[in-house]
Amino acid sequence: MTTVRRTRRWRGVAAVALLASAVGVFATQPLVLLAGAVGAGFAAYPWLRSPPSVELDVSRSMTPTDPAAGEDVTVTVRVRNVGDSTLTDLRIVDGVPPMLSVSEGTPRHAAVLRPGSTTEFSYAVTAEHGRHQFDPATAVARDITGATEVETSVSTDAAIECAAAVPDVPLREQTTLGSGRVLTADGGSGIEFHKTREYHSGDPMSRIDWKRRAKTGELSTVEFREERPASVLLCLDARPAAYRATDEDEPNAVACSREAISQLLTAVGSGRNSVGLAAVGRELCWHRPGRGTDHLADARQLMASHPAFSTVPPSVDAEWSTSGQFEEIRRRLGEQTQVFLFSPLTDEEVASFALELESSRTAVTVVCPDVTADDTPGSRFAAVERDDRIRRLRSGGVTVVPWSPKEPLGPELLRAKERGL
């Protein structure tokens, strides 16, 4: 996204020039009138120039590449001017992952870049558990007069990963045919023992229970629990109500959820399962479930650039509505697609959406980042409301995983599976 705007740098010069011209006319002072005319010329000059053309290529490198939690990671950012214009006043702010804090240096940089030239800068962040996607870098370039500036975002696929990523996503049972990672209640030719049954003509010899044959003389066939491919949709609640945080200095629930989605995207999409993305927010985001490295790369690029995945809370006077977006997602869902919904459960709309999906036989798992606090009566009441929604969702058959963003997500998912929540 690119924005062009005028600065107020020459506004004072224009005012002084007009005042001097007026004084020169009424006082019949040629020198004063000439000075005013010269000043007016300077003030008009910036309006005659076109805005700078900003075309940048941004790349990042991290050291170390596989940090442990709590270890500092040095991030080196290289910015190359791939356009034809010289950028005389370029300022860059790197998109530091919202869940990570800068421990040394600064992610801000200023430079003069001629066409084809490169500048670089470094800073350090403290690694945390999981996979942390970088936001697009923000570049602001002013023309030589400083009267016009161009702001643009430059995205690139980069992330910091450290220990305790999601090792395996505990998906729910489904009934589609095929071979994959989701266990079903049907017997077949999988790997986990299901039951034995009477031998039928044509059954493979390798599945005959020879021990039972030797013991009883009867022929029986062993069936195994089938594994079938999963279709999973990772859905982000990025409505205004979801941008809630425990403190002003802490990441909000949308930022926490986006990092969790990044982890699950890798875990689910690394096998034969289909995985897709959706987000309800500034505008509807939909990326249908699919497989393959190209599909995953497209999904990550979407997370880095789509407005619905922005971790920046909307302004107070923002005018956008999420009306109908949940319904549109439900309309596009396939019959066998499971939904992982990431939401702090701050209102009834998102809870109703999850219950409606579950009642229509769509398996729903709600990952609920805990951003509640107890420092005020209002925040304590919000926590009580959240707990009540969790209870109602569970009673409606929805799997709910309350998650503290300060803890790894993987163990929480596995514990929820073991408890059957």
Walk along the chain (421 residues) and give the pLDDT tens digit of each residue: 678 776 666 555 556 656 666 666 566 666 655 665 665 555 555 555 667 788 999 999 999 988 888 889 999 999 999 988 888 889 999 999 888 889 999 999 999 999 999 999 999 999 887 778 888 899 998 876 666 788 888 887 788 887 655 656 667 665 433 334 443 444 444 444 455 666 667 667 666 666 766 677 677 776 555 556 778 999 999 999 999 988 887 889 999 999 889 888 888 877 778 899 999 999 999 999 998 889 988 998 888 889 899 888 888 777 788 889 999 999 999 878 999 999 999 999 999 999 999 999 899 999 999 988 888 888 889 899 999 999 999 999 999 999 888 888 877 787 777 666 5
pTM score of the predicted model: 0.69
Q: In what order do the strands lie in the sheet with 148-154?
A: 2-6, 148-154, 135-142, 87-95, 108-113
Identify the pLDDT of residue 385: 92
d(Cα 132, Cα 152) in Å, to the nearest integer?
22
- The tens digit of pLDDT for each residue in 272-325 reads 788 999 999 999 999 999 988 899 889 988 888 898 998 888 887 777 888 899
d(Cα 192, Cα 169) in Å, to the nearest integer?
18
List the structure tokens of 362: 């769509």
Residue 26: C-alpha distances to residues 30, 33, 35, 41 (Å): 10, 10, 14, 20
CA nearest 343: which of 289, 297, 306, 398?
A: 398
- Contact assessment for residue 72 and residue 104, using Cβ atoms and an 8 Å cutoff: yes
Name the one residue in this structure whose structure tokens are 């702010």. 93
Mean pLDDT for the chain overall = 80
* φ, ψ dihedrals at 63, nearest 5°: -135, 120
The C-alpha angle 371, 377, 381, rounded to 5 degrees, equals 60
Identify the pLDDT of residue 268: 83
d(Cα 124, Cα 73) in Å, to the nearest integer?
5
Residue 16: C-alpha distances to residues 24, 92, 300, 375 (Å): 12, 33, 52, 53
List the structure tokens of 117: 């030239």
Strands 274-280 and 285-290: antiparallel
Maximum C-alpha span of the chain:
126
- Cβ atoms within 10 Å of 303's Cβ, excluding its own: 24
* 110 Cβ contact partners less than 8 Å away, ≥ 6 residues apart: 89, 90, 91, 92
CA nearest 123: which of 147, 111, 105, 138?
A: 105
- Contact assessment for residue 150 and residue 52, using Cβ atoms and an 8 Å cutoff: yes
Identify the pLDDT of residue 184: 40
d(Cα 186, Cα 119) in Å, to the nearest integer?
59
d(Cα 240, Cα 321) in Å, to the nearest integer?
9
Identify the pLDDT of residue 235: 96
Strands 399-403 and 364-369: parallel
List the structure tokens of 55: 């075309």
Identify the pLDDT of residue 186: 40
- The tens digit of pLDDT for each residue in 4-17 reads 776 666 555 556 65
Identify the pLDDT of residue 2: 76
d(Cα 15, Cα 312) in Å, to the nearest integer?
37
User: Cα 200 to chain center, whole Å?
Assistant: 52
Identify the pLDDT of residue 142: 84
Write the Ramachandran bin of 343: left for phi over 0, alpha for psi from -120 to 50, otherwise beta: beta
d(Cα 152, Cα 175) in Å, to the nearest integer?
47
